[in-house]
């Protein structure tokens, strides 16, 4: 064989080897991309499920200060109504410079927004033209940079550039208030060209848990409660859906086999103040409180347009009796604490209101709204309860086809779910998910996207990613960061259920080893997370030479430092970790001045509510011991935020905790440039980071 031919064969062999290596590497990256997104979503949905089961009270005010002086020292935007494009531009410039809009203008803006929204139908109807494409945006979740980038790439809202924002403007991110102000301002300027649908996070109870309430109270310390009270009403008036050219249905979550667009178009939508509080009669509440249900938690420690169609009556998919009775017990305990606090002067008569908001929605109104704001599509046929989220349903392609046939529709655009590339097409191209918050879970975890619709109704997707850091990192550095964050969140979840996992492991086998099947079964049954546990096993535990999993190694790098270790029993620490969000939510109702500092008496009140919710039994002496152990300077006050952080930073070293607080931590390595883990692909040609 001649030398040139041998040379060519060697080159071809090298090319094949390189190709195989590249494909194998990209396959591993894709696998890790998927399981990291699964970890983030499973934990997020489990948290939402817990939130749907905690239906309690709300803060409100009965007095409203009609006049609020704006001091001469205020250099931010000064709004004059009716608003103009100059006002909107001033707001954008101010927020880019991290300035706050004065509370007086915020309240005026919210009053005007409510007035305009009340004139709008439940389902808005729009039409397109070739000179007037409609832009559809998904979840923003307080990420102002994403909104600013959308406006930069796509232009500001105007008569020739209409927008539909499909809910979930708030929570999780740091700039929810700024996003609302911008969207509401453009709504007032262009009420026929900027349209807002309600999302499941436009809900005052969700806001307490997921950060928006805290953001408002931090930014508007004096008038924050009034702003929140008004926002609660504004959210209830947001339209529920949008229909484009009578063919494209746009709503936040999804549909069910009983979704009735005619009904949704005609009922009084403002009656649904919160989907966390389903309609119940007083008699029903009293009866359920009396129920004795076995505990499964640890003990010790305008003119509306018609849309034709019919539907059947529906049944609610409520939470477990144990959780419901627990929630009602919380409400009862709350009322008693409010009474005690008012008599002792801790709370004023205007700082709380009755938890019940008349008029309440009917069961049908509540369920129909729940389904369209909380449901998710799936590839399997049928309609089943959404057990991951705890509300809404999973709907298959057959359910989509039936709704389309009934109402002569062509496409459903929804949001509600983070997607790796910012969007996803399902059900044979009939259902599109659009998600506009890039880097939702972690810097580099996902792209954002929006849709352009013209009269052909062929969706055009525009992707982007807001991240200075991501642009500076190479692929391996970016993927390592996100995978580390995902595994950190999962390990925190494992620690919070350590006792239950240990019990289940030992019941299976006393030798310290389990087969892969048995280990997966335990993880699924205890954590209730739909994850690829077989793929994750090498990340979470050591595997013996015979292929079995040494289950004790799941906890080897989970530690609890001092003084928490000395003052609190492990079961108590695990319980606090597990219900940290609920504890924080209860505290927000107790901390009347929202300073983050509470007295020992306020801590007792918070803890009493927490024990009712979790089913824990803890006497006053044990509570005193815990409270005193975290009152570091012995001044009678507790920094509650640091207390919560001590039970949250399970992947941080104790020495990094503020003021020497010993926290739960793990010995986890810092991602190194050589690691390959997870991230969205590199920008495509023509796309860039901003």
Residues with a catalytic annotation lie at 201
Strand 134-137 to strand 163-165: parallel, antiparallel, or no bridges (unpaired)?
Answer: parallel
Give the integer Cα–Cα distance in Å for 159 and 194.
Answer: 9
Task: Decide: 613 and 336 in contact? Cβ < 8 Å.
Answer: no
Q: What string of DSSP letters covers 422-482?
A: SEEEETTTTEEEEB--TTSSSTTS--EEEEEE-TT---EEEEEB--HHHHHS-HHHHHHHH
**CB 97, CB 214: distance < 8 Å:** no
Q: Which two tokens stand for residue 87?
A: 């006002």
Nearest by Cα to 243 from 251, 231, 232: 251
**Do residues 111 and 105 make contact, with C-beta atoms less than 8 angstroms apart?**
no
Phi, psi (5° rounding) for residue 460?
Answer: -115, 125
Report how far residue 384's alpha carbon sits from residue 373's, in angstroms, rounded to the nearest whole number: 15
Angle at 210 between CA 209 and CA 211, to 5 degrees: 105
Nearest partner of 555 among 666, 654, 670, judged by Cα? 666
**644 Cβ contact partners less than 8 Å away, ≥ 6 residues apart:** 580, 583, 584
Q: From residue 272, how far is each of 168, 174, 279, 302, 672 by CA, in Å?
A: 16, 26, 9, 17, 49
Q: Which residues face 161 on adjacent strands?
A: 158
Positive or negative, the CA dihedral 398, 403, 406, 409 is negative
b/e sequence 76-96, b meaning 16+ C-beta within 10 Å: bbebeeebeeebbebbbebbe
Please list the residues that pair with 649 across neighbouring strands. Answer: none
Termini Cα distance of the chain: 56
- Cα–Cα distance between 549 and 535 in angstroms, integer? 13
Distance CA 458, CA 454 (A): 7
H/E stretch holding 229: helix 224-236
By C-alpha distance, which of 368, 413, 417 is closest to 389? 417
The residues pairing with 435 across neighbouring beta strands, listed in sequence order, are: 139
Residue reference for tokens 């991230």: 679
The two three-digit tokens of residue 21, written as one number: 């290596």
Handedness of CA 525, 527, 532, 534 (dihedral sign): negative
Note whether 121 and 304 are within 8 A (CB): yes
| Torsion 364-365-368-371 (CA) sign | negative
Distance CA 192, CA 176 (A): 23
Residues 408 and 403: their CA atoms lie apart, in Å, by 8
- Write down the residue that tokens 């740091």 correspond to: 174
Specify whether the CB–CB gap between 436 and 449 falls below 8 A. yes
């Amino acid at each position: 064989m001649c030398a040139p031919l041998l040379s060519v064969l060697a080159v071809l062999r090298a090319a094949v080897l390189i190709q195989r290596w590249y494909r194998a590497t990209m396959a591993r990256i894709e696998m890790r991309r998927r399981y990291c997104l699964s970890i983030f979503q499973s934990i997020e949905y489990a948290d939402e499920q817990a939130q749907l089961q905690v239906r309690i009270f709300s803060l409100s005010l009965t007095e409203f200060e009609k006049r609020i002086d704006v001091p001469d020292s205020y250099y931010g935007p000064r709004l004059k109504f009716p608003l103009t494009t100059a006002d909107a531009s001033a707001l954008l410039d101010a927020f880019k410079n991290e300035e706050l809009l004065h509370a007086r203008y915020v309240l005026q803006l919210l009053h005007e927004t409510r007035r305009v929204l009340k004139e709008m139908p439940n389902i808005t109807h729009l039409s397109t033209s070739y000179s007037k494409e409609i832009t559809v945006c998904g979840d923003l979740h307080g990420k102002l940079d994403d909104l600013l980038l959308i406006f930069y790439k796509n232009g500001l809202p105007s008569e020739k550039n209409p927008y539909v924002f499909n809910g979930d403007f708030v929570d999780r991110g740091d700039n929810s208030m700024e996003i609302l102000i911008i969207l509401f301002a453009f709504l007032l300027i262009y009420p026929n060209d900027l349209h807002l649908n309600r999302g499941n996070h436009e809900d005052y109870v969700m806001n307490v848990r997921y950060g928006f309430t805290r953001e408002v109270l931090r930014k508007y310390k004096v008038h924050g409660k009034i702003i929140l009270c008004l926002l609660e009403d504004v959210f209830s008036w947001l339209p529920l859906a949008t229909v484009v050219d009578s063919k494209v249905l746009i709503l936040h979550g999804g549909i069910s086999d009983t979704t009735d667009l005619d009904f949704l178009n005609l009922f009084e939508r403002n009656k649904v103040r919160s989907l966390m509080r389903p309609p119940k009669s007083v008699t029903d509440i009293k009866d359920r409180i009396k129920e004795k249900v076995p505990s499964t938690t640890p003990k010790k420690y305008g003119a509306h347009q018609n849309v034709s169609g019919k539907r059947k009556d529906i049944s609610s998919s409520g939470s477990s009796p144990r959780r419901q009775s627990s929630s009602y017990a919380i409400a009862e305990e709350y009322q008693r604490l409010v009474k005690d606090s008012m008599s002792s002067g801790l709370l004023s008569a205007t700082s709380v209101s009755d938890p019940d908001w008349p008029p309440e929605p009917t069961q049908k109104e509540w369920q129909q709204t729940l389904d369209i704001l909380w449901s998710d599509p799936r590839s399997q046929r049928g309609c089943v309860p959404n057990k991951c989220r705890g509300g809404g349903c999973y709907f298959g392609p057959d359910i989509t086809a039936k709704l389309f046939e009934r109402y002569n529709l062509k496409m459903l655009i929804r949001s509600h779910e983070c997607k790796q590339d910012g969007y996803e097409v399902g059900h044979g191209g009939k259902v599109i998910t659009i998600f506009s918050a890039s880097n939702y879970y972690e810097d580099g975890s996902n792209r954002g996207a929006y849709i352009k619709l013209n009269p052909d109704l062929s969706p055009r997707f525009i992707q982007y990613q807001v991240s200075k850091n991501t642009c500076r990192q190479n692929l391996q550095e970016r993927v390592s960061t996100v995978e580390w964050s995902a595994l950190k969140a999962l390990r925190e979840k494992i620690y919070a259920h350590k006792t239950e996992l240990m019990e289940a492991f030992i019941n299976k086998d006393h030798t310290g080893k389990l087969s892969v099947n048995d280990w997966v079964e335990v993880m699924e049954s205890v954590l209730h997370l739909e994850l690829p546990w077989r793929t994750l096993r090498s990340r979470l535990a050591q595997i013996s030479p015979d292929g079995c999993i040494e289950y004790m190694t799941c906890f080897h790098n989970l530690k609890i430092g001092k003084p928490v270790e000395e003052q609190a029993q492990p079961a108590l620490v695990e319980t606090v970790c597990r219900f940290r969000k609920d504890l924080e939510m209860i505290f927000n109702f107790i901390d009347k001045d929202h300073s983050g500092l509470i007295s020992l008496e306020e801590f007792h009140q918070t803890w009493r509510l927490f024990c009712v919710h979790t089913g824990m039994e803890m006497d006053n002496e044990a509570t005193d011991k815990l409270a005193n152990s975290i009152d570091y300077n012995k001044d009678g006050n507790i920094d509650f935020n640091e207390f919560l952080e001590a039970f949250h930073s399970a992947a941080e070293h104790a020495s990094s905790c503020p003021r020497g607080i010993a926290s739960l931590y793990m010995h986890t390595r810092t991602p190194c440039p050589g690691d390959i883990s997870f991230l969205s692909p590199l920008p495509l040609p023509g796309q860039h980071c901003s």
